[in-house]
Amino acid sequence: MRNNTATLARRVYPALTPAVALVALLAGCTVGPDFKAPDAPVASGYAEGPALRSTVAADGTVQTIDGEARLPADWWHLFDCPALDGLVRQGLADSPSLAATEATLRQAQDTLKAGEGIFWPQADAGADMARQRESRNAAGGARQGAFNLFTLSASVSYALDIFGGEHRRVEGLAAQVDYQRNAMRAAALTLATTLVDTAIASAAYDAQIEATVAIVALEREQVRLAIVHATAGTAGQAAVLSLRAQLEATEASLPGLRQKQAQARHQMAVLVGRLPADWQPPFFNFSELTLPRSLPLSLPSALVRQRPDILQAESALHAASAAIGVATAALLPSVTLDGSFGVSSTSSDTLFQAGSGVWSVGAGVAQPIFNGGALSYQRQAAIDAYDAAAAAYRQTVLNAFQQVADVLRALEHDAESLALLEQAEKTAGAALALTQANFAAGLAAQADVLVADVQYRTAKLSVIAARASRYQDTVALFAALGGGWWNAPAADH
């Protein structure tokens, strides 16, 4: 095939035989490394010690790890809360930050299409009308006086990508498209995760505020009784001051909780693209949220093909690899073929008559000779950038595996913590019931009932926080596994 091409070149353009023959021989040569995605880490699991199979029963739920379970792209549906579904759906539709990543992806796609234009001949057309006068003293003399010159022309040029520099450039642009596509996936996952986390936190703040208000009421009654006893001389002033200090500390916790609740609601509004003053997010309650019982867990070898951040790092590595090819090709000769044809005449009446035609065909070869080592150092810089991208990729993978390992241990330990706190709540509840019975029988004072009630409600506060942590651990697992985007319909990928 190459010999036939060279023969044809000699027949058509005898004067250009050496250059065109060289082009034919080198056609298909693409300098620079061919990118290959890094292999997935070889790992038997995510964390040291026995693999987590299931959590302890807490809040009436045992969560089981199922390696065969499928993580849906709309994983928030697993919490079985219509209000939460609507919130996330609205965020994905209206979030300005997500719209920005979508626009950036479109920009990368359009830049790629523009870059692919280099593989096509470039054609231009022009028209020119001028009045001019030539020098009489120029070589060959000159026509007398001024004259008009009318010209219509078209030109075609084509840059031969002999060493594949332009192919590598377009390869890098395609890698940038992949990078932005995964950036959009990461942004959507972050948005959904933040919305669900914030909704869970909002439910916890509401419950904590309610419990704290009840404790404040009880502690105020304790202070009132202590003042009565101090006035009667059956209790000292120190007891009154101690109880009052406890009351003031409890009251002081309320503004902080209310501020966190306000911030959570403001954040939900902004995440769905609304002004906090103009939109009221739904109120959430743990009774409306279902903790998923079956939790998916991807194989370690599959994680690198699922997490958007790892795929982003891989795309950055791919782009860096292509840049080496671009920099290498810049050291080598470049060849351009060009031709033009048209008509030219001193009168518009004769512009299209025989003899007015003009044309030219040519080829150009350019070879960098001396540039102070700039091109060589640019190639070395591209290699250094690739090394940096490779190290960043490895770190991203390590961080991802750590995140999954941390979440698995959090699922295990937070379930244990919640189970113990629930037991403490039950014990405090039993103590309160017994104290109330003793009070009814005249065997305990009202102050004893108040103390037991405060202890019970304080235990409930701890349970609320632990329950929220367990829900958020589940969200963190779904996010750490990549969010299930690969299980969405193909059109949504």
Q: How many domains does the chain have?
A: 1
Q: Which of 296, 290, 289, 286 is nearest to 64 (CA)?
A: 296
| Model pLDDT, residue 344 | 85
| Model pLDDT, residue 140 | 60
pLDDT band at 493 (very low <50, low <70, confident <90, very high): low
For 391, counting Cβ atoms within 10 Å of its Cβ (0-12 exposed, 13-18 middle, 19+ buried), the class is exposed
Give the integer Cα–Cα distance in Å for 492 and 73.
Answer: 10
Backbone angles phi, psi at 131, to 5 degrees: -115, 130
Give the integer Cα–Cα distance in Å for 84 and 82.
Answer: 5
Are the C-beta atoms of 148 and 347 separated by less than 8 Å? yes
| Model pLDDT, residue 139 | 60
As given in the structure block, the two tokens for residue 313 are: 């790092």
pLDDT digits (tens, 9 = 90+) for 37-63: 999 998 888 988 788 899 998 888 999
Are the C-beta atoms of 492 and 440 separated by less than 8 Å? no
| Model pLDDT, residue 389 | 98
Are the C-beta atoms of 344 and 286 separated by less than 8 Å? no
| Model pLDDT, residue 420 | 96
Q: Which of 401, 194, 394, 392 is nearest to 298 (CA)?
A: 401
Q: Lowest-confidence range among 9-13, 18-22, 305-309, 411-415?
A: 9-13
Structural domain includes residue 368: no
* Exposure of 28 in the CB half-sphere (CA atoms within 13 A): 4
Q: Calculate mean pLDDT across residues 201-221.
A: 96
The 3 state secondary structure assigned to 266-331 is HHHHHHCCCCCCCCCCCCCCHHHCCCCCEEECCCHHHHCCCCHHHHHHHHHHHHHHHHHHHHHHCC
Residue 245's CB: how many other CB atoms inside 10 A?
A: 11
Give the integer Cα–Cα distance in Å for 292 and 69.
Answer: 12
* Exposure of 196 in the CB half-sphere (CA atoms within 13 A): 34
For 481, counting Cβ atoms within 10 Å of its Cβ (0-12 exposed, 13-18 middle, 19+ buried), the class is buried
Residue 312, pLDDT above cutoff 90 = yes
Q: Which domain holds residue 407?
A: 38-121+162-332+373-492
Give the integer Cα–Cα distance in Å for 312 and 389.
Answer: 11
Are the C-beta atoms of 465 and 204 separated by less than 8 Å? yes
| Model pLDDT, residue 432 | 95
In the DSSP assignment, the letter for residue 36 is -
Structural domain includes residue 50: yes
Give the rounded percent of residues in the chain with a pLDDT score beyond 90: 71
Backbone angles phi, psi at 150, to 5 degrees: -110, 135
Whole-number average pLDDT of the chain: 89
| Model pLDDT, residue 127 | 86
Give the integer Cα–Cα distance in Å for 435 and 444.
Answer: 7
Q: Lowest-confidence range among 136-150, 282-296, 308-322?
A: 136-150
Give this prediction's pTM. Answer: 0.86
Structural domain includes residue 8: no
Are the C-beta atoms of 326 and 169 separated by less than 8 Å? yes
Residues contacting 371, CB < 8 A, separation 6+: none
Backbone angles phi, psi at 52, to 5 degrees: -70, 125
Give the integer Cα–Cα distance in Å for 347 and 356.
Answer: 10
Structural domain includes residue 135: no
In the DSSP assignment, the letter for residue 41 is P
Structural domain includes residue 64: yes
Structural domain includes residue 136: no
Give the integer Cα–Cα distance in Å for 51 and 450.
Answer: 45
As given in the structure block, the two tokens for residue 205 are: 């703040």
Are the C-beta atoms of 376 and 394 separated by less than 8 Å? no
Are the C-beta atoms of 171 and 362 separated by less than 8 Å? no
Give the rounded percent of residues in the chain with a pLDDT score beyond 70: 91
| Model pLDDT, residue 116 | 92
Please report the beta strands in 43-145, taking only residues with DSSP state E, as ranges in sequence order.
64-66, 122-132
Helix (H) or strand (E) holding 339: strand 334-345
pLDDT digits (tens, 9 = 90+) for 79-133: 999 999 999 999 999 999 999 999 999 999 999 999 999 888 888 888 888 888 7
Tell me the CATH number at 272: 1.20.1600.10
Burial 309-330, CB ≥16 within 10 A → b, else e = bbbbbbbbbbbbbbbbbbbbbb
| Model pLDDT, residue 422 | 96
pLDDT digits (tens, 9 = 90+) for 318-353: 999 999 999 999 999 999 999 988 888 878 788 788
pLDDT digits (tens, 9 = 90+) for 137-165: 666 655 567 878 888 888 899 989 899 99
Structural domain includes residue 426: yes
pLDDT digits (tens, 9 = 90+) for 354-392: 877 888 899 999 999 999 999 999 999 999 999 999 999
Give the integer Cα–Cα distance in Å for 451 and 471.
Answer: 31
Structural domain includes residue 341: no
